[in-house]
Structure 1
């Protein structure tokens, strides 16, 4: 194995979030309220399967053991199964995850499992079908819920459900969500609304701190689990009376970035050191042959030394990310 990717603050990176498309068929109010529009040039194309294989192989050679396939909506790629299979075939990769809006889960989750997908996150921002449609722009609540049921039938021991907290829309629904996971092996992941370049007014109107939920959980007997090596940013809470778990992702906490273990590659082949960082580092010119791996490792390692200690969201910085779908959230 080549030397593990590490930045100047001695943070080691074993988790790659790999976007394979920025296209999405939902119109979530906090991400793409006006629907999908391309963020690259007219001639830009998404990463090919050979390019994806070279990226994953290179990251695996430098300590990565978990890859999350993201978007946009990654399952919109016609070769999604091939992507999963390709990533899963790299020996060093132990976890192959995806984040999906879930609209194709019911029909396809058995095939995803067979291809090597080990973990699923699905976004459900409300358990009320009407509110679900209001937030997502799609009347697919029952279809997505059926997909979760089908995932358990396919053999997944746990499904993670992402919920973006939105003041005056869904943040009062904690009791309903907790009741839903009492007898289900679901990890609810409450995510604070994050301010991006195009969402200033929405953020001002709907941001609510995850600390409120954290305090409520602790007061009602929930306790925090220890972090595992390849865990994402969530603080995970368990309760002896609940089969499900609750994860809190609170990027406005001052020390949120101390445990960062994630790097991102966009669907257009750019390395992003932070979700809220910069314009990205071009990698695609070094993805055209296997013989370029050493140069690719060197370029990533060099730019990692410039990774900031923090995203500074708590200081009001929104970075250069136009919306979360553009580099895979």
Structure 2
């Protein structure tokens, strides 16, 4: 292994979130309420499979062991299975995850598993088909639910389900979600609504603090689960009476950034040190040849020394990220 990627606050980075497209076919109210709109960039091709392989290899050689493939909706890439295979075959990578809206899972999840995908996160913001449609703009609830069932059929022992809880929309569904995971090996991850540049008024209207959910879980006998080094930001809770687990992602919590262990690369090949950070650092010029890996590693490590101690969301700073689909959430 080369140097371990580490910033000036001694945080080590075991986890890469790699976006492979910013295109999505859903119109979720908190992310792309008006649907996907091409940016109009010139030469705006997404990272190729060889470029993906090179960037993942550089991260793996510096201590990264987990890669999450994100979008937009990553399965919209026709070469998605090739991307999974390229990541999974990289020495040092032992977890290959994806985040998906789930609409293609039923038909394709067996192929994803065969290609080397080890973990799946599915976005599912409601167990009510009508509310699902209201939030996503798509009448695909039954497709997503069938896809989750299919994932278990093809051999996944656990599926993670991401839920953005929003006040006066789906926040009243907590009891239904808890009932749903009682006998299912699902890790239900409640994600606190995050404020981005284009979503100020939406945030003000629908934000619900994760602390209220945390207090309710603890009062009802849920206990914290021990974290692994390459785990994401969720605080995970387990209960003796439940087969499923609960994860809470609360970015407004005071010490949220202290355990940061992840970096992001956009579908256009830019390094982002934080979801709510900066314009990004160009890596693509160093992804054209296998011989450029040393220069690539040096550029990433140099930029890491500029990573801030916090995202400063708790101070009302929304950063420069226009919406979550732009760099993979």
Aligned to 1:32: 32
Per-residue deviation at 1:39? 3.8
Runs of 4+ in 1 over 3 A off after TM superposition: none
Q: Could you list the per-position Cα deviations for residues 47-81 of structure 1 after superposition, in whole angstroms to 9, with x for gaps in the alignment?
A: 01110000001100000100000000000000000
**Any conservation in 2 of the 1:39–1:326 contact (CA below 8 Å)?**
no
Aligned to 1:245: 245
SS of aligned partner of 1:240: coil
Separation (CA, whole Å) in 2 of partners of 1:44 and 1:117: 27
Structure 1 gaps of 5+ residues are: none
SS of aligned partner of 2:81: helix
Aligned to 1:73: 73
Separation (CA, whole Å) in 2 of partners of 1:237 and 1:204: 28
Per-residue deviation at 1:41? 1.0
Per-residue deviation at 1:218? 0.3
Q: Does 1:276 align with 2:276?
A: yes
Q: Over aligned residues, Cα RMSD in angstroms?
A: 0.6
Separation (CA, whole Å) in 1 of partners of 2:248 and 2:235: 5
Separation (CA, whole Å) in 2 of partners of 1:37 and 1:70: 18
**Any conservation in 2 of the 1:56–1:87 contact (CA below 8 Å)?**
yes
Aligned to 1:291: 291
SS of aligned partner of 2:16: strand
Aligned to 1:172: 172
Separation (CA, whole Å) in 1 of partners of 2:252 and 2:16: 22
SS of aligned partner of 2:171: coil
Separation (CA, whole Å) in 1 of partners of 2:235 and 2:184: 19
Per-residue deviation at 1:38? 2.6
Q: Could you list the per-position Cα deviations for residues 219-255 of structure 1 after superposition, in whole angstroms to 9, with x for gaps in the alignment?
A: 0000111111110000000000000000000000011
Per-residue deviation at 1:107? 0.3
Per-residue deviation at 1:40? 6.1
Structure 2 gaps of 5+ residues are: none
Separation (CA, whole Å) in 2 of partners of 1:64 and 1:93: 7
Aligned to 2:113: 113
Aligned to 1:223: 223
